[in-house]
Amino acid sequence: MRESVIDLQMRSMRDNLLELKLENPQDIDRAHRLGAKGDSKPRPIMVKFNFFEDRERVGKAGKETLREKKKYGISQQVPKEIKERRKLLQPTFDELLKKGEKSYFKGDKLFMSGKEYKNLPK
């Protein structure tokens, strides 16, 4: 039951990006700042796009622009449980990237060259 709730959260968050600057905001359904006001650290911005294709286009352009600026980032919003599962896989992901392997996350699974990576840490 919990997995189906997480799946529903993933589907509802699929049009959202975090931490974004736009010159043409016409593609945006809404945007919110996250976190408590007055906190000393920068607050992320969640943006919901009208269309998934717009989110992909802006996300790709933003990632290319921000590649060298470690202070900023763009990421897809995912449920807390998925974020925690990805965090466990992050060292393996980083190692694959260092080896030059094309790797990415899809949900809570790690993929390498289009196939699910099975040699995961226990």
Q: For domain 1-77, give its CATH number from 3.30.70, 3.30.420, 3.30.2320, 1.10.1760.
A: 3.30.70
pLDDT in tens, 58-85: 888 887 777 777 777 788 888 899 999 9
**For the range 31-35, what are the long-range contacts, defined as Cβ-Cβ under 8 Å and sequence gap of 24 or more?**
none
110: tokens are: 């790690």
**pLDDT value for 25:** 59
Position of tokens 């593609």?
27
**pLDDT value for 59:** 83
Q: Give me the chain's average pLDDT, please.
A: 80
H-only helix segments in 1-122: 2-13, 52-66, 80-98
**pLDDT value for 122:** 52
Domain boundaries, the chain: 1-77, 79-122
Q: For residue 79, how far is the Cα from the chain centroid?
A: 10
* pLDDT beneath 70, residues of the chain: 11, 14-26, 39, 119-122
**pLDDT value for 73:** 78
**pLDDT value for 22:** 57
